[in-house]
Amino acid sequence: MPPNINVVSLVSIGRHPQSGRARRAEQDGRAVELGLTMVGEALTVLHAGNPQNPVLRQYAGMGLPSLTVLDQASSCDAVSVLLRYLRKNPTDIVLTGVRAERGESSGMLPYLLAEQLGWPLVPKVAEIVSVQDGKADVLLALPRGQRRSVQVSLPFIATIDNAAPEARQSAFGPGSRALFSIQKGDNLADDAFMEWKISPAKPRPKRLKVVKAKTAADRMKAATAKPVGGGGKIMKQESPEEKAQAIFDLLLEEKVIR
Amino acid sequence: MMLDWLVPTLISVLLVLASIGAVRRINLWRAGQAEKVNMLAGLLAMPKRYLHDLHHVVDRDKYISRTHVVTGGGFVLAMVLVVCVHLFGVDSKILAWALLAALVMMFCGALFVYKRRINPPSRLSKGPWMRLPKSLLTFSITFFVLTLPAVGVLPEGFGGWLLTLVLSVLILMSLSEMLFGMTWGGPMKHAFAGALHLAFHRRPERFGGGRSTGLKPVDFGVGVSAKEVHGVAKPTDFKWNQLLGFDACVQCGRCEAVCPAFAAGQPLNPKKLIQDMVVGFAGGTDENYAGNPYPGIDLGHAKGEPNQIITDGLIHPDTLWSCTTCRACVEECPMMIEHVDAIVDMRRFLTLEKGETPNKGAQVLENIIATDNPNGYAPASRTHWAADQNLPVMKDVKQADVLFWVSDGAFDMRSQRILRAFVKLMKAANVDAAILGDEELDSGDVARRLGDDATFQSLAKRNLATLSTYQFNKIVTTDPHAFHCLKNEYGDFGSDALQNVEVLHHTMFLNRLVKDGLLQLEPFKGGKVTYHDPCYLGRYNGEYEAPRELLASLGIDVAEMERSKFRSRCCGGGGGAPITDIPGERRIADMRMEDVVSTGASMVAVGCQQCTAMLEGVVEPRPVVRDIAEILVGQLVEATSISVKEEVVHE
């Protein structure tokens, strides 16, 4: 793999599901891990927010000599400032988690960046196999351990799935020694976000699963087999218009749009 | 006669060479980090430390202790007199006779050393150590013959030039071993380095019957430059007196004989580890090491230099992670070398600097950081186990006589049975007790043994801050690991939260309640019972009696295992060993259960939730495992009910 590509991993402040404490976000950690295995210490790790946040040291403890922080208040939106950075600095691959662990957690950030930059977005990546001649071979994570191989041209944005290799252990010493390159962020407050009220989510009732299997083999099959959907069809040969029409029809049918 | 000038010359030349060697050796130690030692007090205390503390440990093997007294004593006396008689030529028949007596004494001792080496036990190192008895015998015989003319038994010049020549060669051979070898790395090095090690020991509290088992904290504070590497990466990162301590090793292998990891076939041998440390700070390879290797790792491939990273070629990290920190090696070492300190120092580097804690280590540390417990449970669920216990929480009552430190057993269903049993006993005795509830955090024991002293110190400081807001006289815990941290390790962080507070293990506390007649107990009528000493209660804190007295109060005559009390074999659960899980040929817990079975006991009493988990993890059929609190609860006569249901022991 050529080390002369510029890889940027975007990291956010995570939230431990049990304690609610700030931590290295699970998927962002994997994005850093993937970046480190690709280009080693040449990796740029980028965070938009408070440079004093101690969680950033947990990312740095993965063996990063430095971390770039776009200094801005946590109430500010990250998209515009990240856009500005990515436009200014030559970048080939942007790695990020699928969604943040706190805040809106909508998973929209990589899409918004890709839209503004006009780059392709590769969702739920398990592995970047190789990068050659301006193209990358990427494995996407599908349910039940399946993978889909796609080829994408640089530059692109990839969101990293939980199927990607786990983030390496964060070591205290290197973490506390890493240097922070702090750049000025935005002062644009995210007004929409400020107006929102945040309350704890109610656990959704779980659908009862009636296991009809009589034998262990049947149960094994029920647990591992791919659920066979009743409807749906695979469209490969059709024109883009036909495909779009099919999606539109489905959305109408499901009453997503009226 | 020729010998008139030859003998003094030989002695002086070898004394000079020995002094040069001593300076070189001292410089090797001085390459270590600075550590404040009261030199004068140490040197003055050294003879007593040697004659009392060291001898006390050696004396566990009567054969070698007597042999050593006679041989060593004879040699020291003889050497002083040799210098007087043969170097300075003091013409005194009394001195000469005294020299002969000392040499005879040494000769007798050396005969027993020789006998020991005819068919030596496997734990002893061979190689150069095999020639030591011969050198001792040669020394005593040669100087005996040489001294005979001085007392007038033989005429001056007896034997002519042939005898003179033979004696000169023998003098050279034996003195090379005894003087030259002492400072140039021969077997006699143990006498030179050992004496200084006793004088400048890093834990002087251990002498005179004291105890010092708490790990030394890593200094993260002000004054430590941010560039500094934490833990021990290179041999020169050890304190200078730690290096000196490694050099004191006599390779007797007592540590190897008691090491549970070595017995389980994991790649650790404490004796080899100490020898590798010597290879590290002196430079070289382990080719000349003549003892048992680390199980599964061949000799001759380890290379070390004073400024080389230890885990890059000298020691495999698995060796360091195999240790259960049971302290059996330290307890058994006649030279009082601190193996566990060294291992944790090197683990600190691997965890804090390299982020290479093996297997589940990284995850456990991450959980502790994020949730204050090793398994990542919700901190708010810490008190769920006590939902039906009606226990006062410190936040509400602010003060109590006894603070019950619950420990992370709160999250484990098996350990909760121990907790409930203990609470029931406290209630029966009307103890004014309270818990911290969700304010309690992990004690930090596991984080510290896994080398993450930053997390340990953070937990310790936060726990101390919580403790300092409440009033209590005693703090009691069912977990010997938490007990050890609270009692011996929390004192380093400048808090007065535990000042004037008695830290007790639940067996100690219950023993008091029983002695004060606060608990009505029926005699135990089950089968034979043995008791397993937890390392962190026994060797770390010297508490062997309270659990036994409690069992005796139930009329139980403990069927002792061969390895009990200070020689107790570890269950395999300490030092984060179940987390790092280094493969071996056997499991330590299985070996301990074999010890239990060999007593014929149908129940093993324990005083530690970790030991309970490890021993209950052994496949059945095996004796049942019960915490002492659980056994007591079974025999508790409750004031309200006259007929007490007896819990069936045989399940």
- The pair of structure tokens assigned to A230 is 């009743």
Give chain A positions within 8 Å (CB) of B450: none
Is the Cβ pair B366, A170 closer than 8 Å? yes
Other CB atoms closer than 10 Å to residue A92's CB: what's the count? 18
Residue A203, Cβ density class (10 Å: 0-12 exposed, 13-18 middle, ≥19 buried):
exposed
- Domain CATH for A134: 3.40.50.620
Give chain A positions within 8 Å (CB) of B348: none
Q: Is residue A206, in this structure, part of any structural domain at all?
A: no
Paired sense of beta strands B399-405 and A135-141, if any: unpaired
The CA distance from B367 to B356, in Å, is 16
- Out of A8-12, B54-58, B325-329, which region has the weakest mean confidence (pLDDT)? B54-58
How many domains, in total, are found in chain A?
A: 1
- B475-519 pLDDT tens trace: 999 999 999 999 999 999 989 999 999 999 999 999 999 999 999
The reply to whether ipTM tops 0.95 is no
pLDDT above 90 for A102: no
Q: Among B366, B456, B441, B448, which Cα is nearest to B406's?
A: B441
Determine the pLDDT at residue B154: 79
Split at pLDDT 50, 70, 90, the class of B226 is low
Is the Cβ pair B352, A177 closer than 8 Å? no
Min distance A218 CA to chain B CA atoms (Å): 31
Tell me what the pLDDT averaged over chain B comes to. 93
Helix (H) or strand (E) holding B195: helix B189-199
Helix (H) or strand (E) holding A164: none
Q: Among B519, B564, B520, which Cα is nearest to B539's?
A: B564
Q: Could you state, in order of their start, the residue ranges of all structural domains in chain B?
A: 3-199, 227-353, 372-515, 529-634
Q: Which fold has domain B227-353?
A: Fumarate Reductase Iron-sulfur Protein; Chain B, domain 2 (1.10.1060)
pLDDT above 80 for B646: no
pLDDT above 70 for B649: no
Split at pLDDT 50, 70, 90, the class of B647 is very low
Whether residue A34 contacts residue A126, with contact meaning beta carbons closer than 8 Å, is answered with no
Whether residue A72 contacts residue A185, with contact meaning beta carbons closer than 8 Å, is answered with yes
Determine the pLDDT at residue B651: 44
- Is the minimum CB–CB distance between A199 and chain B shorter than 8 Å? no
Q: Is residue A11, in this structure, part of any structural domain at all?
A: yes
pLDDT above 90 for B395: yes
Min distance A167 CA to chain B CA atoms (Å): 10
- B78-112 pLDDT tens trace: 999 999 988 888 888 899 999 999 999 999 999 99
Q: In terms of DSSP H, where are the helices of B349-392? A: 361-371
| pLDDT average, residue stretch B324-344 | 96
Q: Is residue A229, in this structure, part of any structural domain at all?
A: no
Min distance A60 CA to chain B CA atoms (Å): 12
- The pair of structure tokens assigned to B517 is 């007649």
The CA distance from A137 to A166, in Å, is 20
- B586-623 pLDDT tens trace: 999 999 999 999 999 999 999 999 999 999 999 999 99
Q: Among A113, A106, A110, which Cα is nearest to A86's?
A: A113
Phi-psi region of B211 (alpha: psi -120 to 50; beta: other; left: phi over 0): beta
- The pair of structure tokens assigned to B37 is 């030692």
**DSSP category for residue A19:** T
Q: Is residue A210, in this structure, part of any structural domain at all?
A: no
| Alpha carbon of residue B301 to chain centroid | 27
CATH number 2.20.28 is the correct assignment for the domain at B3-199: no
Determine the pLDDT at residue B21: 94
User: Buried b / exposed e across A130-159, counting CB within 10 Å, b at 16+?
Assistant: ebeeeebebbbbeeeeeeeeeebebbbbbb
Q: Is residue A222, in this structure, part of any structural domain at all?
A: no
Tell me what the pLDDT averaged over chain A comes to. 89
| pLDDT average, residue stretch B170-176 | 90
**CB-based contacts of B177-180 (< 8 A; 24+ apart in sequence):** B177/B131, B177/B132, B177/B135, B177/B139, B178/B75, B178/B79, B178/B135, B178/B136, B178/B139, B179/B14, B179/B15, B179/B17, B179/B18, B180/B14, B180/B17, B180/B18, B180/B21
Least CB-CB distance to B356: which of A23, A169, A177?
A: A169
Boundaries of domain holding A190: 7-195
Is the Cβ pair B230, A61 closer than 8 Å? no
The radius of gyration of chain B's CA atoms, rounded to the nearest angstrom, is 28
Paired sense of beta strands B529-531 and B603-606, if any: parallel
Paired sense of beta strands A13-15 and A22-24, if any: antiparallel
Give chain A positions within 8 Å (CB) of B352: 171-173
pLDDT above 50 for B642: no
pLDDT above 80 for A195: yes
- A216-239 pLDDT tens trace: 888 887 777 766 666 677 888 889
Sheet holding B624-627, edge to edge: B529-531, B603-606, B624-627
Spell out which chain B residues touch chain A, with contact meaning CB-CB distance below 8 angstroms: 226-227, 229-230, 351-357, 361-362, 365-366, 369-372, 376-379, 452, 454-455
pLDDT above 50 for B643: no
Determine the pLDDT at residue B150: 83
Helix (H) or strand (E) holding B303: strand B303-304
- B263-280 pLDDT tens trace: 999 999 999 999 999 999
Is the Cβ pair B230, A62 closer than 8 Å? no
Q: Is residue A239, in this structure, part of any structural domain at all?
A: no
